[in-house]
Every structure is written in structure tokens, then in C-alpha cells.
Amino acid sequence: MLYEEVVLLVSHINFLTHGLRKVFTEREVKKRSRMLERCAEYHSHIIRIALEVNELHKNITGHMVLAWAVSIGCIINQFMSMYKPVGAIVYLSAYMISLSCFVVSGQLLQSQSVSIADELYCIPWYLGTIEEQKTVMFMIMRAQIPLTLSAKPFGNYKYSLYVTVVKTAYSYATMLQNKT
């Protein structure tokens, strides 16, 4: 479900960047100012939605990170001890795929949200009025802060968290192998 929410946010971001490209092709100043104002409001709306999605998921899914690490470590231990290895591979695959969905979602949201700043910088905003230039500057400043999905209390969902979970799972697996 988180992946679908992030894909929806990314489609909103793509729609915003498409609208931003069209703003400064408009020659009429009033119409251009209204278009830019709508884009700024839409950008704020996207940020609000992303913060709400993060708030809804961070307390629930964050603790799953520890459960994933422990579970994956136990499954690796089961596989290495050759006790039902086919079942272990199936469960290991399921855990890795579910972790991947969360991590890819977080990384996608983070990279796409920062791309708004790049898009804003590339449009000819310097040709606009002083008010339009200020609006674009504020939008650039806000877009440089990436939107993230928190895995409270373990950090944010991104590729480095995936590596951390796999390393932790391997540590658990080696510890279990040494104990059994």
C-alpha cells in the first residue's frame, strides 16, 4: 500500500513539473502569475500529502525493520542448517521483496521530491517579475529539502536502510550458527 501511495505522489510531482515548464512560456504577466501561484499551492499540497503519508506509516512500519532483520536472520540460519531449505528460500524471498517495496518507495519519493528543485532551476524564472522570482526562489528552497518516509526509530526508508537490514540479518544468522 505504501508503494501505491508513493507512486501517486510521484505522479503529482510529475504533473507539477509539467505545469512549471508551461508557466514561463506564457507571455501575459497576470496569467503567468496565476499559473505560478497555482503551482506553488500545488507544491504545498504535495508536501502536505507526503507528510501525512509519512505520519501514518512511520510508527507502524518503522518497527517492522527490526522484525525483518531478526526474521531474515532466523530464516538464513534455517537454510544453512538445511532444515526445510525450500520453505526457507520461499520465506526469505517474501521478506526481501516486502523490504524492497518499502525501501524503493522511500528512495523514489526522496529522489523525485528533490528533482522539483532541479526542474525549477532549469525553467527561465529569471525572466519573470520580481514577485514571480521570489515565489520560485521559495519553491526552490523548499524543494531542496527531500521528502522522506521514516522508519522510526531506525532512520528513513532508502537503499542504505536495506543494506543495514541485510547486514544485521547476516549478523543474527552467524550468531545463531555459532550457537547451534
- The helix (H) or strand (E) run that includes residue 49 is helix 29-61
Contact predicate 44/61, CB 8 Å: no
Give yes or no for a cis peptide into 124 (omega within 30° of 0): no
Per DSSP, helices labelled H in 62-84 are 64-80
Nearest to 31 by CA among 41, 21, 42, 23: 23
**C-alpha cell at position 74:** 532466523
Residue 62: helix, strand or coil by DSSP? coil
**Cell numbers given for 30:** 497576470
- Walk along the chain (180 residues) and give the pLDDT tens digit of each residue: 788 999 999 999 999 999 999 998 888 999 999 999 999 999 999 999 999 999 988 878 878 888 888 899 999 888 888 888 898 899 999 999 989 999 999 999 999 999 999 999 999 988 889 999 999 999 999 999 999 999 887 889 999 999 999 999 999 999 988 876
> Which amino acid, residue 142?
R
Label residue 169 exposed, middle or buried (CB < 10 Å: 0-12, 13-18, 19+). buried
pTM: 0.84
